[in-house]
Amino acid sequence: MVLVLIPSLLAAQTGGRGRFEVEAATLGEALRALPIADLLFDERGELRPLVNPFVDKSLERDLTTPLQAHSEVRVVAAIAGG
Amino acid sequence: MSVLLPVGTRKGLFLLRGDESRRSWEVEGPLLKGWEVFHATVDPRDGALYVAANNFVYGATVQRSDDLGKTWERSEQLAMPDGQEPLKRMWHVEPGHPSQPATLWAGGDPHVLFRSDDGGATWEPNRALLEHSTRDRWQPGFGGPCLHSIQLDPTDARRLYVGISAAGVFRSDDGGESWTPANKGTAADFMEDDKFPEVGQCVHKVLVHPARPDRLWQQNHCGVYRSDDRGESWERLEGNGLPSGFGFPIALDPGDPDVAYVVPEDGAEGRVTAGGRLGVYRTTDGGASWELHMDGLPARAWTAVKREGLAYDDGGVYLGTQSGSVFALATGDGGWVDAAAQLPEILSVEAAEWSSS
């Protein structure tokens, strides 16, 4: 199982849940398995430009990035000015 | 009856509860922290609270709460059809006709109207507007290419109106299957050649009078207008007491179709309240004359009230400023009362019945 951590703004959209354990072989599968996937991907299915996923503390925007059995994925909103 | 004001702000949603006199207020919030709540409204048919909420990282959403903000359900992802520009923001949610209890309408950017027939769970874009023969002449307003006004005719479920920046007002008599431009007599002073085009007007807000639905009121980039024939023609009204024809919101009085309220700004360049004061102007004669009505409002102010920032009900008028203040004026009362202050920038105010019991 892969552990996925999401920021508090997104956790508020899931009733306060910020940690998810999902079955996923790739980063894209892990993100799309979340109940807030529509907030991470735009209507064309593209990862939104200011959503930055980290896999085991390394920024990865390639959705085909393979995950290991105990990988940790952390979703971080990009710092965009201010 | 007590009143509930859902107040959308740049940084979340606030709920203001006022007593019957509109003099005593309680503030709850912020809810939906981190979301820009462009519009929030209570569906009078079932009490559900809806928001058009946007986030610069996570996109445009419509969300529904059945317990006044304790828990939320987000609509299935809203999407433009293939070949169109992607959805950028949601601007407005309008509950549907009482005879269609599961139907709602919502407006967004780019120039899009959505319809839901399942209580806001899923939404479909209105094809007739997307394919309208005049669409290539629609321009973006200063706030982007947004569909911000949606008005229903309470006597006819098939008739509705939309206000689009900067395309103008459009009327449908067949439930949204087709749309007719309704801009005759409204000016587009910013055009170089044709000042009264078929479409391209910069409507800022359009309202239908609930008790006399053939009468519409409009605050436009280029003036204040009234129509008495369902938008077939418009009369310009502001040359008689208003300091400026430029403004965004407009409010009505459900008990008197000759009453309207506007908040003029000093013009399209400055975009602050006219004369350095928060001046609300009221007409009681269908727009023939206007009087300043600011007892209780700050004497000096350089703020503004956005297009959704003015609301009304049977009991009064309510305004929210870009400076984060909410003021209430009880019907028949002399002055405005502070309902809240120091909120984030206010994007919208609506009014709904509320019972504390």
Q: What is the pLDDT of residues B63-94, one digit of tens each?
A: 999 999 999 999 999 999 999 999 999 999 99
Identify each DSSP E strand in chain A by its residue range: 2-5, 19-22, 51-55, 58-59, 72-77
Q: What's the rounded mean pLDDT across residues B154-171?
A: 97
CA pair distance B176, B230, nearest whole angstrom = 15
- The CA-based angle B39-B161-B114, given to 5 degrees, is 55
pLDDT on residue B357: 57
The 10 Å Cβ neighbour count of residue B191 is 14
Do residue A38 and residue B56 have CB atoms under 8 angstroms apart?
no
Which of these, B252, B219, B232, lies nearest to B181 by C-alpha position? B232
Pick the residue from chain A with its C-alpha nearest to B56. Answer: A50
Count of CB pairs separated by less than 8 Å, A with B? 42
Query: What's this model's pTM, rounded to 2 decimal places?
Result: 0.97
Do residue A43 and residue B55 have CB atoms under 8 angstroms apart?
no
pLDDT on residue A38: 98
Q: Is the peptide bond before B30 cis (omega within 30 degrees of 0)?
A: yes
pLDDT on residue B152: 98
Q: pLDDT tens-digit profile of A28-41?
A: 999 999 999 999 99
* Residue A13 in contact with partner chain B when CB distance is under 8 A: yes
pLDDT on residue B239: 77
Do residue A43 and residue B72 have CB atoms under 8 angstroms apart?
no
> What average pLDDT is seen over chain B?
96
CA pair distance A25, A8, nearest whole angstrom = 25
Pick the residue from chain B with its C-alpha nearest to A9. Answer: B34
Q: Does residue B32 surpass a pLDDT of 60? A: yes
Which tokens go with B51? 């928001």
Longest dimension (CA), chain A: 37
pLDDT on residue B141: 84
Do residue B61 and residue A39 have CB atoms under 8 angstroms apart?
yes
Which tokens go with B57? 């990282």
CA pair distance B353, B18, nearest whole angstrom = 10
Which of these, B257, B157, B263, B177, lies nearest to B211 by C-alpha position? B257
- Nearest by CB to A48, which of B59, B74, B79? B59
* Residue B62 in contact with partner chain A when CB distance is under 8 A: no
Do residue B59 and residue A77 have CB atoms under 8 angstroms apart?
no
pLDDT on residue B333: 67
CA pair distance B267, A69, nearest whole angstrom = 62
Q: What's the rounded mean pLDDT across residues B135-163?
A: 95
Which tokens go with B300? 């000096």
Pick the residue from chain B with its C-alpha nearest to A46. Answer: B86
> What average pLDDT is seen over chain A?
95
pLDDT on residue A81: 59
Residue B45: band (very low, low, confident or very high) from pLDDT cuts 50, 70, 90: very high
Which of these, B211, B94, B214, lies nearest to B163 by C-alpha position? B94
* DSSP classification of residue B95: E
Residue B142: band (very low, low, confident or very high) from pLDDT cuts 50, 70, 90: confident
Q: How far is B205 from chain A (nearest CA, A)?
A: 29
Q: Does residue B334 surpass a pLDDT of 80? A: no
Do residue A38 and residue B74 have CB atoms under 8 angstroms apart?
yes
Residue B339: band (very low, low, confident or very high) from pLDDT cuts 50, 70, 90: very high
pLDDT on residue B332: 82
pLDDT on residue B217: 98
Cα A9 to Cα A20, A32, A54, B37, B56: the distances in Å are 15, 18, 17, 14, 12
Do A53 and A46 form a contact (C-beta atoms < 8 A)? Answer: no
Instruction: Give contacts of A12 with chain B, Cβ < 8 Å.
Output: 32-34
Do residue B74 and residue A48 have CB atoms under 8 angstroms apart?
no
Cα B282 to Cα A40, A55, A73, B86, B264: the distances in Å are 46, 59, 57, 40, 11
* Residue B80 in contact with partner chain A when CB distance is under 8 A: yes
Q: What's the rounded mean pLDDT across residues B155-173?
A: 97
Which tokens go with B95? 């509950």
- Nearest by CB to B77, which of A12, A15, A38? A38
Q: Does residue A82 surpass a pLDDT of 70? A: no
- Nearest by CB to A43, which of B56, B71, B80? B80
Pick the more confident residue, B356 or B121. Answer: B121
- Nearest by CB to B86, which of A38, A42, A77? A42
